[in-house]
Structures are given as C-alpha cells and as structure tokens.
Chains A and B, each alone.
Chain A
Amino acid sequence: MRELALHIMDIIENGINAGAGLIRLNIQEDRRKNRLRITIQDNGRGIPREILDKVTDPFFTTRTARRVGLGLSLFREASKRCGGEFKIDSRPGEGTTVEATFQMDHIDLAPMGDLTGALTTLMMGSPEVDFLYTHEIDGRRFVLDTREIRETLDGVPLNNARILKFISDMIEGGVEEIRGLQEKGGEGIED
C-alpha cells in the first residue's frame, strides 16, 4: 500500500464486514517521542480465539473467494519495517482492536496520504456505520463523531454528496488547524 490511509481504510472495511455499527479510529502523532500510533477499534462480531493467531498470516483467510488474506499482514509488515509494533486483540461478540505504531522519521514510512478521502469513501459505501475519529498531534486533538452529525441530520443520510463534502471539509480544516498551530509553535486551542 502506498499510503497509510489505504491500510486504515482496509482494516476499517474488515470491521464493517464484521457487522460493526461503530468504528473508532485514533491517530496519535507524537513528534517528541518520534512515534505514530494508529488504533482501529470496531464493535463487530470479533474473531474467535483459534483464528486470531492466524489472521496476520498472508496465506490465511476466512473468505472463499480467494486463498490469500493480505490486509492485516500488510499492515503488520508496514509497522514492523518502520521500527514499530503491531497488536490485534479481539473478543467474540464484542469487537476487534488493531493497533500499529511507527517510527515517524523512518525512511520506509509511507505518507499518511488522503485519509479524509478514505473516511468519506467508507461513509459513502456504509452510511449506516458510525465513526468516531480522533486525531492527536503532540497533544492537540481533533474529534469527529458522526453520531453527533447524524443527530443534526434528522434522517438525511450521511452519504448524501453534500453532507460528505461538509464532513470532508470539516476533517481537512480540523486536522490542518491542529497541525498548523503546532508548527507555528502553537497557541492553544480547546481540546
């Protein structure tokens, strides 16, 4: 995958396919510690214990359409080759959490890429699923909760093109703001 955003999108798709109603995505960029942490948590049906050990094996899949399962194994390898760690935890009936860390200045670290596009694409394809996206940069935080947006929408579906444009602008503006402030040396914004 040429962007981290594509890995994120792929892992979230797994959660959606597992029947999740809420996806929590947390991205933490800590430049002092030189660490990027990506956590994706879903409340889908979870992975049985006997399968959990095998899910990062590229030649294991529960699907019958093909014989390889690359999503999790690619994400794990991306993290490992950037001096990071990869963890997956799952409880049947409760959901799955995938966490990957990366050394931020590692030469092999792929760019984050178009995360906004990845999220709006997921929302467009699965409008019934809610997203809680938290992005932290050196302690400053941006939060997007589609459950709050949905309350305001009053029945209008999330995947209406104009609503998605609004969400997209909101994410772009919000992340730019926490990143920009920090780069300028930063006056505080409210968490």
Chain B
Amino acid sequence: MAKLTIEDLKRIKEQVKKDTALREGGATVKITVHMGTCGIAAGAREVMDALLQEMAETDRQDIRVVTSGCMGMCSSEPNVTVEVQGHDPVVYQGMDANKMRQVFKRHVLLGEVQTDFALARMKEESPEEGSAEQET
C-alpha cells in the first residue's frame, strides 16, 4: 500500500469541507451504539463498523453517531438506540452488522421502524429515568 501523507489528508479535508458547506444544518437523527463491556463482548464493534460503512455511503450530513455505556439490559446487547427528531427514540436489541445495515437503510433513512428487532420505544425526554415502554 502506498504510504499515506499529510497531503492526502489535506485533500480529503478540502473535499469534506466542500461537501459539508453544501448541506449545512443540525443533526436530525441520533444513533447511539451502547458500548459497555457487555455490548463490546456481544459484538458492538461489528455493529459500529457496519454503521461507519453506511455513513460513508450516504450523503446525509444530519446523522450523528455516538456511543454510550451499558443501559442495564446486558442480555439484549448489542443495543442501538435510534432517535429521529420529532419521534420517540427506539431501542434495538440483538444487533449485528446486517441488522444495523437494515435499520440504517429503513429506519434512519426512510423512517420505517424495524419492529422485528425493536426492544422498546422510549418516552422522549422524560424527566424521570427508566421510562422505557415495552412495545414488542
């Protein structure tokens, strides 16, 4: 493989800057990959890898990916929470790379909740903790 240089990085940066300038605006979708010890052991990194590939292929600049710790439901890891602006957050369970691709393509991009892997729909921004509402 040819050695990467700082010039390569500068070129990529200029391209990214140009693309971003065309589509300014805040994030409207937030995807949280839960990466406690349990999530990592269950395969959260592969889920994140798949998400990274999907992100690289989309033009959407309004999607934010974050990681967080364990949410206490270790047996259903890897868990991923998708929050689309104006809708209740949805927690997905037992995720793998393929399920992540499907959730990204269908829920994140098209707004169709993938109920087959959904664990719960959370009440949005409730002041009290633990307001998960079991849905499936």
Contacts and interface: CB of A to CB of B under 8 A. Distances in A.
* B65, B67, B72: most-surrounded residue (chain A CB, <10 A): B67
- Place the interface of chain A in its size category: 35 or more
Contacts of B33: 125
B52 A161 contact: yes
A159 B69 CA distance: 19
B69 to A, nearest CB: 6
Contacts, number: 97
Contacts of A156: 13, 16-17, 20
A55 interface: no
A160 B9 CA distance: 12
Contacts of A169: 1, 4
Given A153-B13, A162-B16, A121 B72 contact: no
B37 A125 contact: no
A162 B15 contact: yes
Interface of B: 1, 3-4, 6, 8-10, 12-13, 15-17, 20, 33, 35-38, 40-41, 45, 48-49, 51-52, 55-56, 65-67, 69-72, 74
Contacts of A163: 9, 12-13, 16
B52 A164 contact: yes
A10 B52 contact: no
B52 A120 contact: yes
Contacts of A63: 69-70
